[in-house]
Structure formats: structure tokens, C-alpha cells
Amino acid sequence: MLEAEPWEVPVHGSSPLTDRTTRLHQNAASPMRARRALYPCALGAAFGVLFAAPAVCQVVTVDTSGHITNNGASHGVTVDRRYSQITPTHIDLPNNELDPKARIELERFLESDQGFAMRPFPRGHRGLTLVANGKLEPAGEGYLAMVTSAGLSAKPGDRLVLTDVKIDKSKMVFDINGGPDAKHRFMRHVQIGTGPEMSPVVQDSGDGEPMGSRLTLTFKDHVPELTGKQVEALLAPLISFEVKTPIQAFTDTLPPKLKEAILDHNVLVGMSTEMVLFAKGQPQSKIREMDGQMPFEEWIYGKAPSDIEFIRVNGNRVIRVEIAKVGKTPEIFTKDEVEGMMRTDGTPLDPEVAARTVQVGDVDRDPDKQAAAPPPSLRKDGESLPTDNSKDARVGVMRPVQFPKQAPDDEPNAHPNDTTVTSPTAAPPQAPAASTTNSSPSGTGGAQNPTSVSPPADTSKPQPASQPATGSSPPQ
């Protein structure tokens, strides 16, 4: 069991690193002294994290179902079968060591030998390591991570060439398709010339970055005296040196059921475009369309009146297959059948679950047979509020809506165009008005007629023309 290092201790706890830093801050007599004392501490912490972090680093994978798997425990991880562990070979290895003569003959036999890839080959100097009659390193998640980070040099079914063979004390190193090293990688940095004009020793060919791979075959103590055929048998899990057609070399890397479908010229949902081309060849026509926000290609095989197959491709995968036969209803397939075959345990990508119907929107109910749905509420089941048991009977009772009464207008003629008829209201009692004495025009003392004083007329609004009084004579 690994002991906890100082940088693994929680922040709130104490550690030799934090204690030393605290003592330095407490005992420092000046800022310069504290700064000088912290230099060794900071360098020690940096080197400790740099060299010890890989020892405690872990990779945790969380899938869509919430299952957590650790990268260290590869036995619980399900990956693509192309990156799974190989089946070890059983080749009899002689005990005597390889002599110089047999070594030269073996190098001549293996150089420029051609075969077909049975597994993906990653780029890079590290490459794959195969133990003779043993396992492959790396395998599983590590194999997939190497291909993802370094890139792919050759995919299963591609033709390979052993461009270089190096035999060491206990291993053989094979450079595949040119190897991961660029040609003249040291000489291309050398230039010769006099004065300011310099010319490189090796001209850049413009080939770009090397795309080859590397494979190492290791032995226990020394390289035994082997023949070329025995070495090819040891490399058989990764490279097939048999004479094959391209379709045979490609289908030999696939599961039996998928291989049978391709050889029978059938297309399954989940196949790659390469599988479709091996199974059906080039389509007679292609149509690019959009399904909502998803672009796809429709590969069409056949013409009327014969059978027609519509292969829908999104990206690099088949997502839909429709087979229209003469006189029959078209058959449509959308379930992925290939992904489960390519997994190590053979389980499908999405396990089948029981179907559940969910009603969306307004639900029609029969009032004679079904009760009405309860109104929505924020209460929990069986929960009662304090107001339910109160004595106030008005709580929760629907009452008629009371509209406010319209107040009488202070000025009845303020809105002459208003057709609303308002009922007259009784005027409040007023005090008796003061009387005035009017003298007759003759100047004699006549009877005094009491008259009420009228309020001043509103001059801001037009007034109707005055009508002559009844019984008065017309003007002369």
C-alpha cells in the first residue's frame, strides 16, 4: 500500500511541507530572509509534485448509466474488441541463441515483407509491444488511448510493409510503413557554406510528418534461433502474412456474424461506410438531405422495377436501412446491430428496456366512467393547512364577484356626448337663499319679489341661446 506523500495531505491538515513553511514565516526576521528561506522549500515541492504525481494519477471513467470504472482495473472495462487483449500463440521456441549467420538470413527474409493489419496500429516511437507466446502491451483502455493521442497509422485490413528490422539481444524491432522516424532527422539540421550563404546537407523532400508505426517482439532471455515462418507465426495476432484479397483481409478482422453479412452483400445498421463498400460496392446514386438539424446521405442501390435499397449514412455510420421489394411493403431497420458485435462482451450498445407510454397534453376523460382530475396543488399527499381547521367559513368558499358602484358626477353636463343615463340624485338640504328688493322701472314703490341668486355661468363652455319668456311682446 502506498503511503500518503506530503502533497497528498488535505489542505486543512498538517504536513512537513506546510509546517516548514509556517516556521519560516514565524522565524523570519526580515522579508529578505523569509524569501531566501522559501526558495529551497518551493523547489522541493515543485520537484516532488513533478516526479511523484504520475505514481498517484488515476483515470476514472463514468458512462452514461453512472457506472464508474477505474483505468487500473481493466478487467471491469468493456471496450471495442479491436483494442482488446489478444489470444496468445503457441509456437515452439528453440533454446539455442541466434547466431550471426541465422541473423542475417532472418533479416533478409523479413525486410520488405508484406502483410495485412489485424489490429489498429498507432503512430509514434513507443508503438506496440508483443511478448512471444504472450500478451500484448498495452491492451484495452491503454491501447485505445494510445491510438487516440498518437493517431492511427494503419487500420484493420490495410496492407503493411516491414521497412526495417533490428534484432537486439532479447527483442526484435520492426518499423512498419516507413517507421515513426523521419529520414535523415539529424543530417537535416546540418548546413555547409562560407559566409552568410549556407546550404543544407539534406534537402527537405516535403513528405511531411512520418506516418509509420513500430512493433517490438520481446523474448525472455535472448532471441532464439528462429526461421522467418516462425516469426510470422508469432506476429500472426497482429499481422497476417497470408496471401489474401482485400475483402478477405478486411473481413478476417471482424466478428463471424458481421463477416458473414458482408460476404453475403447485406448491410446492417451500425456498419461503417467502409463495410458498406466492401458489401455492396459503390452506390448508383447519392442524395444529400437534412432531417431537422441532422445532415445525412442517402445511398441508393438498384433501380425500378428491381429491388431498391436505401442506405442512410450520417458521418461514417449507417443509421437507417430501407429495403423496397417489388410488390411488398418496404422494410425499415433502425436498430444498431453492429455495435454489440464489436464490443468485447457482446452486449448491445443500448440495452432494451420496457416501453412506457407517457400521455402529453390534455387527457380526454369520460365523465360517466372516470373522475375528474384533481386540481394542481403544492401540497403533499395527506398534508393539511392550518386554515382548513379554522372557524372562518369564508376560507375556500367561492363568492359572487362584487363590482364597485359608479360615483355620481359632480357636474351632470360635463360630458355632453356621453349617452350613459344617470339617475338623478336627491340634492342635499341647503340653507335658504338671501332675498333682494327690486324696484319697479316706474320708480314707485312696488311689490318686492324675492328672487334667488343663480350661480355664475361657466363661460368656458358654449351656452344655448336664450329663449324669450312666455307672454312677453316681441321686440320692436
Residue 395's pLDDT is: 52
Work out the mean pLDDT of the chain and round it to a whole number: 74
Note whether 43 and 87 are same-domain residues: no
What share of the chain has pLDDT > 90, as a percent? Answer: 34
Query: What total number of domains does the chain contain?
Result: 3
Residue 17's pLDDT is: 41
Q: How far apart are CA 367 and CA 47, in angstroms?
A: 78
**Residue 422 placed within a domain:** no
Note whether 92 and 173 are same-domain residues: yes
Q: Which of 288-297, 307-316, 371-380, 452-461 has the lowest mean pLDDT?
A: 452-461
Q: What is the pLDDT of residues 84-106, one digit of tens each?
A: 899 999 999 998 999 999 999 99
Note whether 138 and 224 are same-domain residues: yes
- Whether residue 163 is predicted with pLDDT greater than 60 in this model: the reply is yes
Note whether 243 and 272 are same-domain residues: no
**Residue 242 placed within a domain:** yes
Residue 352 in contact with residue 340, Cβ under 8 Å?
Answer: no
Note whether 243 and 122 are same-domain residues: yes
Note whether 149 and 235 are same-domain residues: yes
Q: What is the pLDDT of residues 178-213, one digit of tens each?
A: 888 877 777 777 888 887 888 888 776 666 778 899
Q: What is the pLDDT of residues 215-252, one digit of tens each?
A: 999 999 899 999 999 999 999 999 999 888 889 888 98
Q: What is the pLDDT of residues 425-461, one digit of tens each?
A: 445 555 554 444 444 444 444 444 444 445 555 555 5
Residue 8's pLDDT is: 38
**Residue 416 placed within a domain:** no
Q: With left for phi above 0 and alpha for psi between -120 and 50, is residue 346 left, alpha or beta?
A: left
Among 277, 309, 342, the domain-final residue is 342
CATH number for the domain that contains residue 308: 3.30.1450.10
**Residue 448 placed within a domain:** no
Residue 412's pLDDT is: 61
Geometric angle at alpha carbon 301, from 298 and 306, rounded to 5°: 130
Residue 429's pLDDT is: 54
Residue 280's pLDDT is: 93
Residue 260's pLDDT is: 92
Maximum average pLDDT range among 95-109, 354-368, 407-421: 95-109
Beta carbons within 10 angstroms of residue 72's beta carbon: 10
Residue 282's pLDDT is: 93
Note whether 162 and 91 are same-domain residues: yes
Residue 111 in contact with residue 164, Cβ under 8 Å?
Answer: yes
> For the residues 43-64, what does the mean pLDDT come to?
44
Q: How far apart are CA 476 and CA 466, in angstroms?
A: 18
Q: Which of 27-31, 86-90, 375-379, 402-406 has the lowest mean pLDDT?
A: 27-31
Note whether 278 and 302 are same-domain residues: yes
- Whether residue 390 is predicted with pLDDT greater than 80 in this model: the reply is no
Q: What is the pLDDT of residues 306-340, one digit of tens each?
A: 899 999 999 999 999 999 998 889 999 999 988 88
Task: Please report which confidence band the pLDDT of residue 360 belongs to, taking 50, 70 and 90 as the band edges.
Answer: low
Note whether 29 and 49 are same-domain residues: yes
Q: What is the pLDDT of residues 164-181, one digit of tens each?
A: 999 998 999 999 998 888
Note whether 174 and 280 are same-domain residues: no
Note whether 46 and 81 are same-domain residues: no
Note whether 242 and 262 are same-domain residues: no
**Residue 382 placed within a domain:** no
Residue 300's pLDDT is: 95
313 lies in which domain range?
255-342
SS (H, E, C) the chain: CCCCCHHHCCCCCCCHHHHHHHHHHHHCCCHHHHHHHHHHHHHHHHHHHHHHHHHHCCCEEECCCCCEEECCCHHHCCCEHHHCCCCCCCCCCCCCECCHHHHHHHHHHHCCCEEEECCCEECCCCCEEEECCCCEECCCHHHHHHHHHHCEEECCCCEEEEEEEEECCCEEEEEECCCCCCCCCCHHHCEEEECCEEEECCCCCCCCCCCCEEEEEECCCCCECCCHHHHHHHCCCCEECCCCCHHHHHHCCCCHHHHHHHHCCCCCCCCEHHHHHHHHCCCCEEEEEEECCEEEEEEEECCCCCCEEEEEEECCEEEEEEEECCCCCCEEECCCCCHHHHECCCCCCCCCCCCCCCCCCCCCCCCCCCCCCCCCCCCCCCCCCHHHHCCCCCCCCCCCCCCCCCCCCCCHHHCCCCCCCCCCCCCCCCCCCCCCCCCCCCCCCCCCCCCCCCCCCCCCCCCCCCCCCCCCCCCC
**Residue 440 placed within a domain:** no
**Residue 99 placed within a domain:** yes
- Whether residue 156 is predicted with pLDDT greater than 60 in this model: the reply is yes
**Residue 243 placed within a domain:** yes
pTM: 0.53
Task: Please report which confidence band the pLDDT of residue 36 belongs to, taking 50, 70 and 90 as the band edges.
Answer: very low
Residue 174's pLDDT is: 95
